[in-house]
Amino acid sequence: MEIEPWEAFIRSTALHTLVRHYEPWLWPLCETLHYLGLSLLLGTVGLFDLRVLGVARGIPFQAIHRLIPWGIGGYVLNIITGIVFFFGHPDQYFYNNAFRFKALFMAIAGLNVVAFYGTSAFRELATLKGGMEAPMRAKIIAGTSLAMWVSVLICGRLLTFFRPPFFH
Amino acid sequence: MDSFLAFFENSTFAGWIRGELDGSTLVFPVVVTLHTIGMGFVAGGSAAIDLRLLGVARKLPLELMGRFLPLLWLAFVVNAVSGILLLIAYPTKALTNPVFYFKVCMIALAAWLLHRTGDAAMRAPEGEQEAEVANTKMLAIASLGCWIALITAGRLLAYTRRWEMLGIPSVG
């Protein structure tokens, strides 16, 4: 397959050269950070979602929401390491169906975040005390969040099984 | 190859996990994926309890954090089972690698620390806003460090051959 302009551009960047030069240790390091980041995301956002869905109902929403910044930290770590992977081997990701599904689920998760904080769903939840049940709208958003992040993880894990049949 | 390891590695069951049998292509991807989902919940959820014990989200009632423990232990069991399946599939790869033994030690330590930190959370008196005991904070720090070491070791297992190429001798 011909190298398209977008891929030629990525291969011309300093980041691409750097990733390929230090690949033997940089790749395992970034993979490890990527796994730590996903654990932080699932362990904080995941527990928040479960509370909204009705697990550990005594916990006030505002209190468990304080864990979310740590989940965002994990997300940022994974975006940075993800960029390292993509710039290192753009063809191995772009022409990979698992990666395309992963990007789709990430986009849905992103829209879901907008639906939560951009509407009154979050404010509505913040006024509720511990022991109270979340409104249906918040439950749908939390369920979507949980399903999307697990799907993103599954697609990420399956990347190696859907490698394109060529290397540029 | 050691004959003991060869017995497992050459078994039909090991071949089934590796996807070498008809219709078993999906087994290996499913097992490694479950291992990663389980890791996310047990390591991440345990880290959330550790952060709470260290003073993050102070208004979060500790004894209620304990309600998540059954889920975390379920994730731990999923990873123990999927981990044993991966070990049966590739026993030589794992058991000749010093990183694997380090990982096993970290698993034991992480499980003990989760038991201790979970216990500390469950026994926190109702309404208490902070883990006052310095010992509990030490357990939380140790637990966080342990998960980082464990995940790092797990990821490095995939690079066994490269470790050997770097001249780090393997055991056995």
Long-range Cβ contacts of B167-171 (<8 Å, 24+ apart)? B168/B98, B170/B96, B170/B97, B170/B98, B171/B96, B171/B97, B171/B98, B171/B101
Q: Indicate the SS3 state at residue A56.
A: coil
For chains A and B, what is the number of CB pairs under 8 angstroms? 110
Q: Say if the Cβ atoms of B44 and A46 lie within 8 Å.
A: yes
- Residue B113 near residue B136 (C-beta atoms within 8 A): no
Distance CA B99, CA A77 (A): 25
**How far apart, in Å, are the Cα atoms of A117 and each of A87, A133, B39?**
31, 19, 28
Residue of B35, B42, B54, B59 to mutate for A, most A C-beta atoms under 10 A = B59
- Residue B90 near residue B11 (C-beta atoms within 8 A): no
Residues of chain A with pLDDT under 70: 1
One-letter amino acid of B163: W
Q: Which are the contacts of A108, defined by CB distance < 8 A and separation ≥ 6?
A: A144, A148
Specify the pTM. 0.93
Q: Say if the Cβ atoms of A70 and B51 lie within 8 Å.
A: yes
Given phi > 0 = left and psi -120 to 50 = alpha, else beta, which region is B23? left
Shortest Cα–Cα distance, B68 to chain A (Å): 7
Report CA torsion sign: A114, A119, A122, A125: negative
Q: Say if the Cβ atoms of A130 and B61 lie within 8 Å.
A: yes
Residue B130: per-residue pLDDT: 53
Shortest Cα–Cα distance, B12 to chain A (Å): 22
Q: Say if the Cβ atoms of B57 and A67 lie within 8 Å.
A: yes
Shortest Cα–Cα distance, B145 to chain A (Å): 11
- Residue A61 near residue A126 (C-beta atoms within 8 A): yes
pLDDT in tens, A28-62: 999 999 999 999 999 999 999 999 999 999 999 99
- Which of A31, A50, A158 is opposite residue B33, by nearest beta carbon? A158
- Residue A39 near residue B45 (C-beta atoms within 8 A): no
pLDDT at B51 over 90: yes
Residue B167: per-residue pLDDT: 62
Shortest Cα–Cα distance, B3 to chain A (Å): 31
**How far apart, in Å, are the Cα atoms of B153 and each of B21, B45, B107, B145?**
30, 19, 10, 12
Q: Which of A3, A145, A133, A136 is nearest to A57 (CA)?
A: A133
Residue B128: per-residue pLDDT: 54
pLDDT at B172 over 50: no
Higher pLDDT, B170 or A28: A28
The pLDDT-based confidence of B1 (bands split at 50, 70, 90) is low
pLDDT in tens, B69-113: 999 999 999 999 999 999 999 998 898 888 999 999 999 999 999
Which residues does B contribute to its contact with A (CB < 8 Å)? 29, 32-33, 36-37, 39-41, 43-48, 51-52, 56-61, 64-65, 67-68, 71, 147-148, 151-152, 154-156, 158-159, 162
Residue B170: per-residue pLDDT: 52
- If you ran DSSP here, which 8-state letter would residue B157 be given? G
Q: Say if the Cβ atoms of A157 and B45 lie within 8 Å.
A: no
Query: Mean per-residue pLDDT for B159-165?
Result: 62
Q: Which are the contacts of A10, defined by CB distance < 8 A and separation ≥ 6?
A: A16, A86, A87, A90
Mean pLDDT rounded to a whole number for chain B: 89
Rg, C-alpha atoms of chain A: 19
